[in-house]
Structure 1
Amino acid sequence: MNDLASDITKWLMQRPAWQQEAVERQLKKGDLSDSDIDEIASMLKSSTGPIPSTTPTFSGLQGVGQNSEALRLVSIGDIQGIESLKPFRPLDFGEGNLSVIYGHNGSGKSGYTRILKRICGHPRANQLRHNIFEAPPEKKQCTVIYQVDSDIHEEVWHADSDPIDRLRVVDIFDSEAATFYLSSETDVTYTPPQIALFEQLSDTCNRVKALLKREQGELVVALPRIPAEYVSTPTAISYQSQSLHKLPAAVINDLKSWTQSEQKNLDDLLYRLKTPDPAAVARQKRQIKVHVDQLVSRIMASSEALGAEQIQGIRNKQQDALTKRRIATEAVKVQSAQLNGVGTETWRALWEAARKYSIGEAYPGREFPATNEGDRCVLCHQDLGPDARKRLQEFDASIRGTLESAASNAEETYTKALERLPTWMTSVEITAVCTAALDDSWAPVLTEFWAQVQLSCKRLKLGDPQEQAMPIATPAENIERLQSYSDTLEAVALQFDQDASQFDREKAADIKLNLEAKRWTAQQESSIDEEIVRCKKVAQYDKWIASTNPQAISKKAGELAQIAITEAYVQRFNAELGSLGAEHIRVTLNKTRTNHGVVMHKLQLAGASTTPSVSLVDVLSEGERRIISLAAFLADVGDKPHIAPFIFDDPISSLDHDYEWRVALRLSQLARDRQVLIFTHRLSLFGAVEEAAKKMGDSWKKDNLVQRFIRVYQGISGHPTEEVVASANTKKANNILLERLNQAISAGSKNGPEAYERDAQVICTEFRKLLERTVEDDLLNQVVKRHRRSVQTDNRLGALSCITPKDCQLIDGLMTKYSAFEHSQSSETPVRIPEGDELRADLDRL
């Protein structure tokens, strides 16, 4: 075993640190508590947990599993509400190691066994019931007394409670155990502690896994459920991905973002999908585009016309006109002028009015001024004298001169420049264009712009009398917005042109639905971030849970168990077959698999020509099945280090006398070291165990063989009684009958002859049976017995020479006399019950 411990230590040093810690705790504490599992799981999740540590020593491997406590069952009694058992006094198992409890069928043997199976935590124990022929009891309990070394323990055990932990090491064989060993895969009840360590480590791994899965299950999904109409979209598929955290960053960012462009695309799709006449919409969009383009042109033209350079140009033209007019006015002031103001604007207006009147009314067809002899002034209608004619001619010459022409041209240029100033949009026009092509948000923008245009134009036309006109800057940002809007309108129009001829509405609906899904997921940005964190945690838990897989543990356990368990188990099974006289039965015990560190075995036919699926039950006889299952049970539990009782309930069912004798010998041998309790209804086994105990030595038999009897009374089973005549040896049985006779005579003296005869008739019947046994045990010295196949002559034949004719006559006479009480008789020959003295004399003679 030292080599085994060394091999296990070397293997454990290569295991993760958290498993090493689990083993260290198992060696120190045995079963691990929930807090131990919590701490081991925390270690697994740490950075050092998955890495083997070099510090463990596993020193406890050498001495683990040793147990020197001796356990004995003392008694079971005070049974209330369980099965049909209600004994008047406890069933005492005595102080010896070999106890045989005899009773007829229905006397309560199986009831006691079922209780013991539940108390001892037997894996195949059935639920205990109350007596179904009575009302449900208030209590279902019993009192169990057991001994551990020299300490006596008494416990009241309730039928619905857990087993008594100290009694879990008791092993029980009954018909259910026999079936189990024949038909099922079994793990060895006792596993060497170093190998059992692997089973416990595997269980620890499963407990850690269960804890991790519980913690993982608490990581609740953070994502809201996506609306049902979106579940089939590409966006929804990504959103609902079980590995959301593994998606590319671009995909995740796309799930969380929603741009103006995407909103516009969605709006366009919604509009296109609800548009029944795409061609009409295209025309409408282009009409709006015309308004927008015209507005852009007008704004740009106004901005250009009222730029700083253009305004300065107008001012320059104004100044030029003023200057030239002043020069021309000065030139018109001729020497003949008699009044001031000649050449001024008022004077020139008067001159021009007079010209029109002269040419049109006064002197039509003649040039102005008319200065012929006899002509009159067109204003005062007086005759023109020489001075007046000369003065008018000088005025005309001045007006028609170069300076006057330059002044007029400059004024005309200035006037035309003012006329070319832009016209501004009125509030009515602004409202109309916003309604037709834009939206209301443009109204204040346009109002402010055209107000500036209007102000500048007015100031320029007034000649900047008080405040100068300010240049108008080009609104580049708004122009860009309007031009972009114009381009969009054209693009939309083109799209609707295309829709009119080849629009795939189904595809567009899918795109629209996916955009809506994307808009919805973008609103869940924080939940998506939380879910990604959760998914990463879940993935980490998956790795931790995967590391708890006990496959490597099972593999190593299987390697070690092949030597330490399987080979030893098979050897014990074969040895038990030999001790029970069943080595000729063609069965073998084979290892089938290792499951979570537990090595499984199964009984199979040896050398069968058919497939391995043929069951033992289909081939072996009932007796062969019973002896094979008993050998498997003994091989399984026989090597346990615990000094604990064995319980057998009718172990010889279906066995012949040879197997019965072998079983009695083997159970007696088991009783050398441990307590063995045998429940049976077979007198033959009762006697065989007594014979087998003799082979262990008379002193051993005296110290260890305990014989108990149970019976049923008034429907209540399990009553312990005194030893019955049928089972006691002949001398003791004879004394029992003598004691009963005294009681019968006493009853007759008190209650009359009927009372005596009732008891005496039973005594006569028992006496007749005793006579048969005395022939076997006393006269023939047990050389032959009815319930034994063999003839045993060992130191017995010599005594037969002592038989005399007188002995034969005595037995023959008594047999004849008392046969009437055992066998039915004719009513014409009534049976006479002997008087008390006569019956006593016959008993004394025997």
Structure 2
Amino acid sequence: MTTEPIEDIEDWSKKLAPWRQDCLRRVAISNELTDADISELLAMIKHAAGFTLGDATPPAPEPFSKAHYGGGKHDPIVLKGIANVQNVNRLISNASLNFSPHGLTAIYGRNGSGKSGFVRILRTACRTRVENADKLKVLADVYGAADGPQTADIIIDTGNGDISIAWEAGTQASPQLMQVAVFDTLSAQLYVDGGSQIRYLPFGLALPHRLNTVSLTLKDLLEKELAVAVGDKVALTAVSFVPVRSTKAQQFEKAITKDTTEALIDEAASFETADQIRLDEINSILSAGDAAVADLAALASWSEGTATECEVAAHLFSDAALAELDRLQASALACRQAARVAAGELFTNEPLQGVGSESWRALWTAARDYSLKEAYVGRAFPVLSIDDGSAECVLCQQPLLEDGVARMQRFQKYMDDRLDMAARVAENAVLNAINEIPQFALLLSEDFGNRLEQIRKRDSKLAADLAAFQATASKRRANAIAILQGLGAKIEPFLPSPHIAMTNLAAKLRGEMIELSKAEDVQERAALVNDKAELEDRKILAANRPNLIRRRDLLVTGSAYERALADVKTRGITIRANELVDTHLTRVVVERFETECKNFDISHLNIALARKSGKTQAEFSVDPQTKLTRVTSEILSEGEQRALALAGFLTEVASTDGAGPIVVDDPVSSLDRERGAKVAERLANEARQRQVVVFTHDIIFFNEVCRSAEGLGIEPVTIALFSDRDAAGKVDAAGMLWKGLNVTKRLGRIKQDFAPLPKLCAESPAKYEYEIKNLYGRLRDTYERAVEEVIFRDIVRRGSDVVQTQLLRYITLSDTLAIRFHEGMTRANTYSHDNPAAETVPVPTPDEFKADVASLEKLINDLKAEGEAAEAARPQMKPKK
């Protein structure tokens, strides 16, 4: 970048909401935000949006500043290797690979050797762009029985020693491994057809995009919370009114908002007992006819009469009234007893017993009535004589003799006595009291139960009071009669009389009769219908009051979430992030892509990068500058596609924050040898500034990339993979295949293999002869490779159609060096070829072999020196600067 963008970001951040400023600070100092970070940011947003957070107070936002810049960069990592591989393709159990911690690691293996298995692990664990995620699947051995999940350990070093990161197919990759970029066949296709998206920006420019990433995370959390907290719950609080009409209750229900207070809801949804009574009245009025008026009149009359009877019963059967009846009966009894005592004294000598008794007095009374009414009409009783003669007795109808007259006179005297009179008065008073007890035609009628039910429909309490009073009144009436009859009675408590309530009910019924008459009037009826509708809907609203409160609360919550969601919108951030990318990075990326295209000799394709940014990253897509009718892969050759893909990949790598390792799998597939050499040179050059791991099955490319690295002073680490019938992914302990070794490495291998031979020569001349013959064959191969690599400077290589004509200026071969080469080659041929059975060719001693190896090493050094001297002698051929 030509200028440091952090000042622009700091100035811009001051205009953001406080939580966004705090979020910028967090993503600046942290590689990945924790769940606690997200929770605190969410709390800040909710607090600003007006949520009620209870006792949970969010931390105060801390603004972003330049002081926070830099702390959030990735700690650079080194990819140390893969270990403990299990169930991946045909890779051997616990397969492993170790990579050079710096420079270049070149891994060679023929098809089926297991390279792809290791690459598949890395492309799922590290940063690989594949359009179809299903293509990243890692399978077990399709020819064997799977035994558990596909797992491995990926070893990295962050500067504090090795760290093992567990990998399992299908699980989320470790953020640390996102610094490792992987290029393989699948991603190559995406780079060409899908476009080369440079998704990773230098840290400063990445901050706004990372802020958007967090914003989208918070947005997702808020939307999920909103779906749970509100969702379609508002619709579920709707009150069902049937029919739908324009009542105050229905209008209020529709108009509820987040600002509707609970007091307003209480007022609109108020429905008391009086309202229900009124609703019942209106229903009765509207449904009533002449019969209803008659029923009301009858019930009103019955209520009035019952109220009167209740009042009478309460008076007649009160405790005081019953006590008075008891006194009255006791008085009559006492008077009669006194008269009876007096009679006993008067009639002691009478011939018959019982004179003066109750039955006797009844007899006397009957005789008197007979005398007055029939026997001696008009004459005072008793009649003792008639015309100076004796009168007949009205009882025996025999003439009264002197004793009879005297007896009749005594009886009359008794009956006229004061005590007997008093007794008769008292007894008559009791009889009158019994006769005066009312029958209570209403309270004790047979239809009392039916009337009681009518009352209950209107006033259940009054009905209960009336029923209870009627029961006790009935018992008290029986008590009163029993008391007067001298039978005695157990007096139960007397309940209060409901006569006042019954009187009020009667008045109300009379009022209803008046209202019923109003229903016949059109206007009055319309008013009643309207009142009924208002009452019915208000009753429904009252029953749904909890739903109304719930809806208001949901609307309050929803409004708070709307404010919070508005606060996490990303559009403004995206615009500013793209402006920063345009200002500080676009030219750099475009120019880098053009340079990479020149490196691979594909500038003639006339394809460039165009920025295509999103919310969370800036992308640079490979777009043809000419109008194409088909996708790029259908127009370009396979070699051009691969070169274009590599240009996009390396551009992305160069634009990525940090210098993370790159892993490249078979980068020269379909490339011609000339362009393959350019790829080898480019990857070797990349190894000067980052760790590079190359997998290939092409031995020529392998040699080219190793040669290019060595030419830049980088000693590549080489690994050879192979497979057998049992498994793949085995590492050849002997190192790289012989044909993959250059002259220097071949000499190193020869010396390594020769080390045990001096001892073997002393122990087993036969085995020594066998081994030394093989080493001379290797020495002969090295002489042949020296022709290509040292004498002719790799101008022409076996298996390659590339001719490096610009290196011809280094070519020279003096006679002396040619003779030395011939002599050395002859010795190598002599001792490596099969010789006659006769011992005409002696077996070289260990010292002789060491001398022959030293002779080749010196020859190589002299050949190189002679070439440099030849170049120095041709100043006119030096390339122009």
What TM-score, normalized by structure 2, do the two folds share?
0.60
* Cα offset, 1:134, TM superposition: 3.5
- Whole-angstrom distance in 2 between the partners of 1:215 and 1:19: 20
* Cα offset, 1:533, TM superposition: 2.7
Q: Which residue is 2:807 aligned to?
A: 794
RMSD: 5.8
The CA deviation string for residues 122-175 of structure 1, in whole angstroms up to 9 with x for no partner, is 5658344333433434686555554444x5415374535765554431222111
C-alpha contact (below 8 Å) 2:199/2:618 kept by paired residues = no
- Whole-angstrom distance in 2 between the partners of 1:222 and 1:693: 67
Instruction: Please show how residues 209-608 of structure 1 align to structure 2 within 5 Å.
Output: 209-213=219-223, 215-216=225-226, 219=229, 245=258, 253-255=267-269, 257=271, 260-261=274-275, 265=279, 282-288=289-295, 427-428=441-442, 439=455, 481-492=508-519, 519-595=539-615, 597-608=616-627
* Cα offset, 1:605, TM superposition: 1.6
Cα 1:193–1:770 shift into 2, 3 Å: closer
Q: Which residue is 1:4 aligned to?
A: 5
Q: Which residue is 1:60 aligned to?
A: 67
Instruction: Please show how residues 647-666 of structure 1 align to structure 2 within 5 Å.
Output: 647-666=663-682
* Cα offset, 1:631, TM superposition: 0.9
C-alpha contact (below 8 Å) 2:663/2:692 kept by paired residues = yes
Q: Which residue is 1:173 aligned to?
A: 183
- Whole-angstrom distance in 2 between the partners of 1:498 and 1:62: 81
The CA deviation string for residues 90-111 of structure 1, in whole angstroms up to 9 with x for no partner, is 5343465122111111112222
Q: Which residue is 1:17 aligned to?
A: 18
C-alpha contact (below 8 Å) 1:189/1:637 kept by paired residues = no
Q: Which residue is 2:115 aligned to?
A: 109
Aligned residue for 1:790, secondary structure, equals coil
Q: Which residue is 1:91 aligned to?
A: 97
Cα 1:764–1:514 shift into 2, 3 Å: farther
Q: Which residue is 2:739 aligned to?
A: 726
Cα 1:746–1:242 shift into 2, 3 Å: farther
Question: Is 1:674 equivalent to 2:690 in the alignment?
Answer: yes
Which residue type is aligned with residue 12 of structure 1?
A: S
Worse overlay, 651-660 or 243-252: 243-252
Count of paired positions: 658
Which residue type is aligned with residue 198 of structure 1?
A: P
Question: Is 1:639 equivalent to 2:639 in the alignment?
Answer: no
Q: What is the percent sequence identity of the aligned residues?
A: 20
- Whole-angstrom distance in 2 between the partners of 1:688 and 1:767: 22
C-alpha contact (below 8 Å) 1:286/1:489 kept by paired residues = yes
Q: Which residue is 1:415 aligned to?
A: none
* Cα offset, 1:485, TM superposition: 0.6
Q: Which residue is 2:641 aligned to?
A: 625
The CA deviation string for residues 508-547 of structure 1, in whole angstroms up to 9 with x for no partner, is 9x99999877645423434533442343223222222222
Q: Which residue is 1:705 aligned to?
A: 716
Stretches of structure 1 lacking an aligned partner (at least 5 in a row): 273-277, 300-423, 452-471, 500-507, 822-830
C-alpha contact (below 8 Å) 1:223/1:528 kept by paired residues = no
Cα 1:168–1:430 shift into 2, 3 Å: same
Aligned residue for 1:99, secondary structure, equals strand
Cα 1:496–1:735 shift into 2, 3 Å: closer
Aligned residue for 1:84, secondary structure, equals coil
Worse overlay, 25-34 or 708-717: 25-34
- Whole-angstrom distance in 2 between the partners of 1:156 and 1:290: 96
* Cα offset, 1:783, TM superposition: 2.7
Question: Is 1:716 equivalent to 2:739 in the alignment?
Answer: no
Q: Which residue is 1:334 aligned to?
A: none
C-alpha contact (below 8 Å) 1:145/1:153 kept by paired residues = yes
Aligned residue for 2:179, secondary structure, equals coil
C-alpha contact (below 8 Å) 2:202/2:655 kept by paired residues = no
- Whole-angstrom distance in 2 between the partners of 1:175 and 1:631: 14
Aligned residue for 1:715, secondary structure, equals coil
The CA deviation string for residues 42-86 of structure 1, in whole angstroms up to 9 with x for no partner, is 322335999xx998461335545556x654334444544433223
- Whole-angstrom distance in 2 between the partners of 1:707 and 1:836: 41
- Whole-angstrom distance in 2 between the partners of 1:809 and 1:241: 107
- Whole-angstrom distance in 1 between the partners of 2:585 and 2:186: 24
* Cα offset, 1:648, TM superposition: 0.8
Of 182, 199, 209, 1:199 maps to: 209
- Whole-angstrom distance in 1 between the partners of 2:294 and 2:523: 14
Cα 1:727–1:838 shift into 2, 3 Å: farther
Aligned residue for 2:678, secondary structure, equals helix
The CA deviation string for residues 293-325 of structure 1, in whole angstroms up to 9 with x for no partner, is 9899999xxxxxxxxxxxxxxxxxxxxxxxxxx
Which residue type is aligned with residue 798 of structure 1?
A: I
The CA deviation string for residues 675-713 of structure 1, in whole angstroms up to 9 with x for no partner, is 2111111122122223423542xxx14xx3223222223
- Whole-angstrom distance in 2 between the partners of 1:835 and 1:714: 43
The CA deviation string for residues 643-684 of structure 1, in whole angstroms up to 9 with x for no partner, is 332211111111112221221121111111122111111122
Cα 1:237–1:651 shift into 2, 3 Å: farther
Cα 1:779–1:544 shift into 2, 3 Å: closer
Question: Is 1:46 equivalent to 2:47 in the alignment?
Answer: yes
Aligned residue for 1:678, secondary structure, equals strand
Stretches of structure 2 lacking an aligned partner (at least 5 in a row): 52-59, 307-437, 474-498, 857-881
Aligned residue for 2:605, secondary structure, equals coil
